[in-house]
Structure 1
Amino acid sequence: MMSKQILAERYELIERIGDGGMASVYRAHDQLLDRYVAVKILHPQFANDEEFIVRFKKEAQGAAKLSHTNIVNIYDVGEWDKQYFIVMEYVEGETLKNKIQREGKLSIADVLDISGQIVEALEHAHTHNLIHCDIKPHNILIKPNGQVKVADFGIARAASSATMTYSGNVVGSVHYISPEQAQGNAITPKSDIYSLGVVIYEMLTGEVPFKGENVVSIALKHLQEIPVPIHELRPDVPPIVEAIVLKAMEKDPQKRFSSTQMILEIHKAQKMLFPDGEERNDPYATRVIPRNQITEAMNTDKNITSKKPIHSIMKSKKFIMLLVFILLLGFFTGAFLSFGKFWSNTEVVVPNVVGQSVEQAKTIITSKNLRVQVTEVYNSDIAKGYVVSQTPNAGTKVKEERQITLYVSKGAETTSVPDVTGFTKEDAERQLQKAGLKIGNIVAVASDKPAGVVLSQDPIPGMQIEKGNAVNLTISKGEEVKTVSVPDVTGNTLNTAKIILEKAGFTIGSISEQESDKAPGTVLGQSPRSGEKLKEKSVVNLIIAKSKSKKEAVEKTNNNTSSNNVKKGNTQEKKTKD
């Protein structure tokens, strides 16, 4: 748990949740508006670059004007104690990079939905003359409900001319930069479209299109090479989806989509592949483009086309025809591989191999003149190496040579137990949830730590356990309070009462006087009363008999003298009568 740190006398930094080449990100509490926010603090090397700081402030303030459901809101930009920071909307969830690393190749429906939301955000920014310049899965946040949030609009643009200076940022972004960025040429909104094309490629295949030994070699590949066709890495990708990626990743910016055109193409693919809306129940699915925007986009295409020479148009048509032929060839090849010899009259009943070992299952399926594809999945109920499920299902009649996909268990998914000691119970629960774990039994014990702070945990930090398991916590309930019975000190002198109370563990509070026939200084009353249970060192207030003043003493003496004289006169008068 980090020591309490307040930024700009307002934002309490709770925990560090991320680090990048440009900045560190913290989850923080906005004490003024009582809400959780994300605070991005620039690394110190940027604080010494005056030109960068000026650009950073300008771009961040521009990004703060954006308001869109798919863009992380920026609330504040400032500087405090030589630390430059941005305060943003705090988004619960994970980055797209984490999702790709966890799932590998994403489903076609997810790819189109996520891509559609990203380009919606880009279109909004582009219409406000703001270019992101660093679209990559690390900057795409996905909430648990599927809503996509694009982050870092301000810092990315401000950093665009600094990327070649600070190598940490280049390493993080070079896999996604456009050819014009790699060359140092002018950046346009279509630079973002290229980067998005790379992101879609990675979502579909599980890997980036260009790899290399260093930053320079990767940048050169963006300029000179064509990536491995998606259908070679993943035959089930529909041609219409692959065509979207190819156009987005054109080397020439003029040949790429605009953001509006790309929304239209993604929407067209969704309607074609999922005509009844299956697998698209997400409330944040891409919107239908208004007719006027579609017309405007089509007119833009016509204007661009009309300016091209005739021979360029012919070349483009030949290229498109060649591309269509290649995609169709890939499609039919994939169809053969997936559905077998569709011209054959021989049909095979798919055997049931669920629960069999993968080797036994392969033997059974190949003996039926069928082919096998194995996909490993995490499963805590089925032993490692055994079939969890199969596609097509057992009993289905298929053509011979049909590919049967076996989903084989690789055991329960494990995770490293995070160290949550020193966290509050609420923050500890969040950390465990991020690791796929939950809170188990909670035991509260007295300690010198603040109430609610985690003192220990079981299992211990760093241990590998199955996801979904519980971690037991021991938390502090604060210091143990000892109570003491208040002694009765009435009737004692003040000094004696003090000694008795202090010995019992109490302190003397206020002392007030009251007239009484008791000796001056005698304790007449106490508060709290005797017998009450109080914490040690609690205060006891006393009331004591009032000391007599000299005037009171003279008056009492005179009264006594007068009384004695009256008594003597009465005695003499009685004697005379007798």
Structure 2
Amino acid sequence: MIGHELAGRYKIIERVGGGGMALVYKAQDILLNRYVAIKVLRQQFVHDEEFIRRFRREAQSAASLSHPNVVSIYDVGQEDETHYIVMEFIEGHNLNEIIKERAPLQVDEAVRIASQICDALDHAHHNQIIHRDIKPHNILIGRNGRVKVTDFGIARAVTSTTITQTGSVVGSVHYFSPEHAKGVTTGEKSDLYSLGIVLYQMLTGRLPFLGESPISVALKHLQEEFDEPKEVNPLIPQSVENIILKSMRKNPHERYQSAEEMMQDLETCLLPDRRDEPKIEFDDDEDQTRIMPALKTMQSDDRDDYTAAVPVHDTMNEVTDEEEVHEGNKKKKRKKQALIVGSILLFLAILTGVVIYVNNMLVVPEVTVPNVVDKPEEVAVKELEDLGLVVKEVSRVYKQGVDEGIVFKQSRTEGTVVKKGADIILTVGDVKPLSTMPDLRNGKTLEEAIKLLKVQKVDEDRIDVKYENHDSIPEGQIISQWPESGEEFDPDVTQVRLVVSKGKQSITMPNLIGQTRSQAESLIKEKGLEIGSVEDMSSFTVEKGKVIEQWPYQPNEIAEPGTKIDLKVSSGYPPEAINYTFNVPVAPSREGEKSQIRIVYSDALGDKREGESRTITTTEIIPVKLLLAPEKNGSVEIYRDGRALETYIVLYTDAKNGTVPQPQIEAPPEPEVPASTEPPQQDGDGEPEEDESERNEDSDSSNEGKRKGDNKKHSWKDDN
């Protein structure tokens, strides 16, 4: 049934209860957008035509009831083989659950509940509906404390076949009246007997009759007396015990004559002057005390008559049988005459009364109906009664603009001439009926909550929404509401406040890498996180005292509040690292001429790092500081005038052992001398002297070849 749309209108949400005859579901009325309770007849009874016929008839009869303490019946129907009754849905608990949890209840609470049940029964009895199954299971207590009686008339639908099939009748045997247990016709007083047992159970925490079987319990209702309430709970006032004792009399004639009479007793039983009233005595007890004296009197009278009929011999005066008979006849004659005279007088008195009554009926003075609209109820009633009119009914109805207790309508218009004693009905302003706040929490979203409030006629402008983070309620669902669920409120003026969850608080993890330890710890605390473990770790790239790693969240990831953040902080270079200065010789392309020198080097701190750049005109030594490690050698690249010139490899092992080869310093070639226009001179052998430029070129070629040989000597291939 869950999820099924019954009759295309009622969407079944969940099962909330059930008994031997039916199952009860919570459903949503799609048409009216409200929650309802649906009682569905169990499948084993769908072919019992007699049961179904009575089930429908009694449900329809109960639907005619309209009372604040009666669960309203909205609809009765059938879909295929499913027979159902749609009822008002009550948020709360049934009385049986409350008794199990808290019994014995406080006296004032128990009396208040019983009084409301009695009010509901009075309404039903006036509509010729007998409940026949009053028990705590059928009494619902709403969140606002209002009592609601349910299952009106359904007990009538139980056929003889259902007693053994469902157990519903047997299950209620603890609340049967004696006449119900005997199987005879039950009436209003049977309901009052059951209510007395409910009140007994509320105040004592136990049932008056218990047995090993339903039959034994039923026999106890018929034959045995129960422990009086005050014997079980001495705190019960005598006035309240009297109500229980009277309502639970085995003879229906000795119980309350109506629910109204019992309700009046309940409403006054806790008044100070009634709490310690005498214990109630019943007619049968009084009769038992009067029977014996009456019998004695009767025997005495008989004895006197007998004595009078026997002749008594008196020496002074003897009476004969004839005289005695004559005297008896005279007495009988006098009695007959007195009877005739009395009858005549009685007839004349009755006749006189009839004449007076008829005269009063025929001759009735007339009165003019005054206008009592806009007057207080008390003033209006007194004014009408002073004129001899009878205020038959005062109906209280809320009307906008009319204060409570002010008459705004009268059944007979002003100036109407009526007979004295005529009835008149007044309609008086009442307090505005309040709505009951629905439950907007328990997984409902803001959109769903607003829909429910609109059903209660709450304007959206009077709904205040606030958003807060929450660790357990998902984003978008309601955290709290005001007014609270079940509270009564005026939808036209009440400002409803809702707090909506933003989900768990989100924290964007800051970048701690490169921060000092103290800076990182401050950032962690500012973000609502906690500091976890902090470990030292050697590093070639991160300065000592600064963060190398953070865990478990990396920068810009979403972190959960309160998470511990672990840090790894640089302890500086590892102990095996070596700082080594490599002196690099550089020379211009020609001595005295400008050349642009650029140095690029690699070591444990990184590859292709820019070193010194300078302009030189002569050979120089440029120191390059390298950091070497076992797994990281160094290299130095020399660029002259934008062209790669030399690459030197510095091995970690050489640096450690002091065996790093040092590059050779070579002088750059001299600048060229301009050629002479004079003929070449001859030397002493007569040969012409060699031109200086040619010598320089030869020298340059020779030196260049020598440098190339040296570079190969210090290349990466040679070193490795």
Query: What TM-score, normalized by structure 1, do the two folds share?
Result: 0.49
Query: What TM-score, normalized by structure 2, do the two folds share?
Result: 0.40
Question: In proportion to residue count, which structure has more helix?
Answer: 1
With a CA cutoff of 8 Å and minimum separation of 6, indicate the structure with the bigger relative contact order.
Answer: 1
Bigger Cα Rg: 2
